Amino acid sequence: MQYIPLGRTGLKVSRLCLGTMNFGDATNEADSFTIMDKSLELGINVFDTADVYSGGVTEQFVGRWFAQDKNRRKYVVLATKVYNDISSWYRHSNGSRVATKGDKDTKTSDQPDPNFARGLSARKIILACEESLKRLQTDWIDLYQMHHIDRACPWDEVWQAMETLVRQGKVLYVGSSNFAAWNIAEAQHTAKERHFMGLVSEQSKYSLETRSIEMEVLPACRHYGLGVIAWSPLSGGVLAGVSSSQAGVRRHSGPAKKRQERKAAQLTQWEELCRSLGEEPANVALAWLLHQPGLTAPIVGPRTVEQLTGSLRAIEIKLDADVLKKIDKIWPGPGNQAPEAYAW
């Protein structure tokens, strides 16, 4: 495994990040434990989760895995997120509700509590952190990420809450996710005024199919010293190839299937190029991300151990300038950062 500093910090993180979004829905608890065991064995030290994943069940899986062996926690750079609804129950897409384990005040009304709804108020951040710590069965979160920008909440309030958690030792670093470049700039400006470290990372949607962050978000992250973690690096399995075990069920249903049909010509060229390289499309897509300046790690979200171990090949793949040009031709990006991407 290769390691790299997370942005401007001294924290060393693996070039692949384990995503746990499938835990609880597509992957049961036993298989989730096996995947986490194997990840640690392979040297993947960043585990990314969120309070909203599977209605809190994903964090519970991770917590029960930690509880099996208390020694594990010190080897994992644990990342979770805050912003979404943290009521004691979460509504699944199938309409079921899952209560936080041990919560005796499970909400039964469909009317959401406004202070538990989406947002980043100081009260919300503190309460959400406490709930995540309980589910994760840990005393601290290494990287606490804001899952989305809260346009209604002032930065002084957000940073006040994060500073409190850092002072208490419950959070070590703060990151963002799905932020625009100007959100990052505003956050860092306010943090500097408060003599606080501010953001150390940004988790963005980034893949060959979705390259818009190259215009402003990536340059902003490089300027402010933020590590960049790419979510959906295989674009919901679309980039994984027709026969790949890493394509996943999402490729064959819903929006991913429609994109696959709409971009059939590109996908044909893409898979032909990968065949000429003798590599799996999924691994080439991950390797391409690892070649991008400022990219810390893509998130791999395996449903099986086989998918996990297969993704490690991406670290070994070297793409020369000629291959990178061919990839750009198939999957063109904005061409430059702003404003050169659309002006002079």
Three-class DSSP category at 37: helix
CB 295 within 8 A of CB 206: yes
CB 61 within 8 A of CB 24: yes
C-alpha distances (whole Å) from 116 to each of 87, 107, 154 are 6, 11, 18
CB 83 within 8 A of CB 119: yes
Q: How many C-beta neighbours within 10 Å does residue 31 have? A: 17
- The angle at the Cα of 296, spanning 290 to 298, to the nearest 5 degrees, equals 60
For the record, the structure tokens of 257 come out as 């299937």
User: What are the catalytic residues?
Assistant: 53
Question: Residue 142 — φ and ψ, nearest 5°?
Answer: -70, -45
For the record, the structure tokens of 114 come out as 């406004």
For the record, the structure tokens of 174 come out as 């703060």
Question: Residue 145 — φ and ψ, nearest 5°?
Answer: -105, 135
Q: What residues form DSSP beta bridges with 189?
A: none
CB 27 within 8 A of CB 21: no
- Closest to 55 measured CA to CA, from 4, 99, 2, 9: 99
